[in-house]
Amino acid sequence: MALPILVLPVQQQRYSCHGCGNCCRDFTVQLRPADLDTLRAQQWEARLGHAVTSEFRGTTYLRQRDDGACVFLLDDGLCRIHKEFGFAQKPIACQLFPFVLVPDDARTRVGISFACQSVRENKGAELRSHINEIDRMSRAVPETRAATYTAMLADAMSAKDGELDALAQLLDRMLSRDDLVMRDRFDGLAWIAASLGRAKLAEVRATRFRELVNVLVNAVPGELEHLPVETVLPKQVRLLRQAVYARLEDVQVGTAKTKGRWRTVLTQLLASRAFTRGKGAVPPVAKGLLVGTDFARISAIPALTESPDRDAIDQLLTRYARATILGNRAWGAGYYGWPAVRGLQALVLNIACTAWTARALAAARGHPHATLDDVRDALGRIDRHAGRAPWLGSVGERLRLEYFRLDDGLRRIIRDGI
Ligand code: SF4
């Protein structure tokens, strides 16, 4: 029996594809055996005179052009497969994007990726209007409709019935409050994430866990005033820049094959060291996203709260945080199988990385403040890899989060950037 589908319950979020083609220029699409059968039946190789797939380390992908765009992307921004054979004949990953289907033990939740421009701009139809298409697509990927994951609350601690739902609903209630200013909303999230990381959760299970989260949620923002944090430490800023680099890092399959393993690794190492040092020019990352700026100019861009667009930025980041939590993308099967407490801390780090990247984009574009467009573009880059790139679910990333738990690290990087 396939699990029932629960479409993201964030009324404010909308989506329809507007054909910008950004996802076709950006993503490396992994193919399933059924996709390969469909492509073969469409006889592309005979018609185009070249291969349309590419092998890399035992996996088959849609082939990309030298600029990283999909071979099927037409000049008008449309997909050639879609144009000639229809939407349902595209590889399933292309059909599903930007929906992210995450099963838990009772249902398949439909999250949404903010790597999509229409999602960030909140353009299109209500999400529930896509339910029939989502149902059809998910049946082509049976693992999205089966319970395969043991829900975890914290390390080595399985979640009891209702604990993760209670956590998600109470956090959503806090994030939805319109009496909170942006900085308190996300500082509150960081404080709750850090507090749950310190709590002896083995002693507060089931209804007592719900009561604990309820107390924390209701304590925002009053408690934050009584627990002020110092300015961010240089070592925390250094670690934040490293986290940003890990999220922007983007080696295309074609580039890795052309340059070879060692040259690719060396380039990454040099760029990573430049982000760690935080001095001089920003090295090339994410197809030249930050080209022409340096770390000193980025530091001089004020926090997002100082932006004239702060209300719209608050709405965007709030939608993102709510959609990530309610769409099961913050923990569990949607985020490397991580327990809820660590996943929540990773979400806070992703928000801090978005703020840093938005300020970096503002510096690169000559803006005195981060604009709404800077934040949209930054969020698109940061959410692009979340839950997908293996290195963001690695031991190194866990250690990074452990470190941010010290000295109020999560709260300090949020208050510094937001
Ligand atoms: S990024 Fe979003 S709006 Fe643009 S083509 Fe892809 S799915 Fe459509």
In tens, the pLDDT along 188-202 reads 999 999 999 999 999
Cβ-based neighbours of 171, under 8 Å, separated by 6 or more:
189, 192, 213, 217, 325, 344
* Mean pLDDT for the stretch of residues 299-324: 98
Q: Which residue's C-alpha comes closest to atom 2 of ligand 1?
A: 116
Q: Given pLDDT bands bounded at 50, 70 and 90, which one contains residue 66?
A: confident
Alpha carbon of 119 to ligand 1 centroid (Å): 8
* Cβ atoms of residues 390 and 173 within 8 Å: no
pLDDT over 80 (residue 261): no
Tell me the pLDDT tens digit for each residue of 263-296: 778 888 899 999 999 999 999 888 888 988 999 9
Same domain, 357 and 280: yes
CA distance 119 to 98: 8
Query: What is the SS3 assignment for 313?
Result: helix
Same domain, 171 and 121: no
Query: What is the SS3 assignment for 150?
Result: coil
Instruction: Point out the ligand 1 atom lying closest to the alpha carbon of residue 21.
Output: 5
CA angle 355, 359, 302 (to 5 degrees): 95
Alpha carbon of 97 to ligand 1 centroid (Å): 8
Could you write out the DSSP letters of every residue in 25-64? HHPPPB--HHHHHHHHHTTHHHHHSS-SEEEETTEEEE-B
Query: Residues for the chain: how many in total?
Result: 418
Same domain, 129 and 158: no
Q: Given pLDDT bands bounded at 50, 70 and 90, which one contains residue 260?
A: confident
pLDDT over 80 (residue 253): no
Residue 6 phi, psi dihedral angles, 5° rounding: -120, 110
Q: Which residue's C-alpha comes closest to atom 8 of ligand 1?
A: 17
| pLDDT at residue 336 in the model | 96
| pLDDT at residue 203 in the model | 94
| pLDDT at residue 130 in the model | 96
Alpha carbon of 15 to ligand 1 centroid (Å): 9
Instruction: Point out the ligand 1 atom lying closest to the alpha carbon of residue 77.
Output: 5
Query: Is the dihedral angle over the CA atoms 366, 370, 373, 378 positive or is it negative?
Result: positive
* Mean pLDDT for the stretch of residues 94-122: 95
| pLDDT at residue 405 in the model | 87
| pLDDT at residue 252 in the model | 66
Same domain, 89 and 157: no
* Mean pLDDT for the stretch of residues 5-16: 92
| pLDDT at residue 70 in the model | 95
pLDDT over 80 (residue 255): no
Tell me the pLDDT tens digit for each residue of 71-96: 999 998 889 999 999 999 999 999 99
Residue 312 phi, psi dihedral angles, 5° rounding: -70, -35
Same domain, 232 and 367: yes
Tell me the pLDDT tens digit for each residue of 364-417: 999 999 999 999 999 999 999 999 899 999 999 999 999 998 899 999 999 999
Place of tokens 């054979």: 85
Instruction: Point out the ligand 1 atom lying closest to the alpha carbon of residue 16.
Output: 3
pLDDT over 70 (residue 254): no
Percent with pLDDT over 90 in the chain: 85
pLDDT over 90 (residue 161): no
Alpha carbon of 14 to ligand 1 centroid (Å): 13
Give the residue from 100, 116, 145 where a domain finishes: 145
Same domain, 404 and 306: yes
Q: Given pLDDT bands bounded at 50, 70 and 90, which one contains residue 68?
A: confident
Alpha carbon of 296 to ligand 1 centroid (Å): 34
Q: Which residue's C-alpha comes closest to atom 4 of ligand 1?
A: 20
Q: Given pLDDT bands bounded at 50, 70 and 90, which one contains residue 26?
A: confident
Alpha carbon of 19 to ligand 1 centroid (Å): 5
Same domain, 372 and 282: yes
Place of tokens 């850090």: 194
Strand order in the sheet with 99-103: 5-7, 108-112, 99-103
Q: Which residue's C-alpha comes closest to atom 7 of ligand 1?
A: 17
Which of the pair, 93 or 26, is modelled with greater confidence? 93
Mutate to test the pocket of ligand 1, among 16, 25, 114, 118 (most ligand atoms within 8 A of CB): 118
Same domain, 141 and 158: no
| pLDDT at residue 1 in the model | 79
Same domain, 163 and 303: yes
Among residues 15, 246, 270, which one has the least CA distance to residue 123?
Answer: 15
Q: Which residue's C-alpha comes closest to atom 1 of ligand 1?
A: 116
Alpha carbon of 117 to ligand 1 centroid (Å): 6
Percent with pLDDT over 70 in the chain: 98
Structural element, H or E, at residue 102: strand 99-103
CA distance 409 to 231: 10
Question: How many of the other CB atoms lie within 10 Å of CB of 266?
Answer: 12
Residues in contact with ligand 1 (CB, 6 Å cut-off): 17-23, 97-98, 116-118
Same domain, 222 and 243: yes
CA angle 352, 358, 360 (to 5 degrees): 105
Same domain, 163 and 265: yes
Whole-number mean pLDDT of the chain?
94
Give the residue from 115, 145, 175 where a domain finishes: 145
Mark 127-163 as b/e (b = at least 16 C-beta within 10 Å). Answer: beebeeebeebbeeeeebbeeeeebbbbeeeebeeeb
Same domain, 299 and 390: yes
Give the residue from 129, 145, 161 where a domain finishes: 145
* Cβ atoms of residues 394 and 336 within 8 Å: no
Q: How many domains does the chain have?
A: 2
Domain that holds residue 315: 150-418
| pLDDT at residue 378 in the model | 98
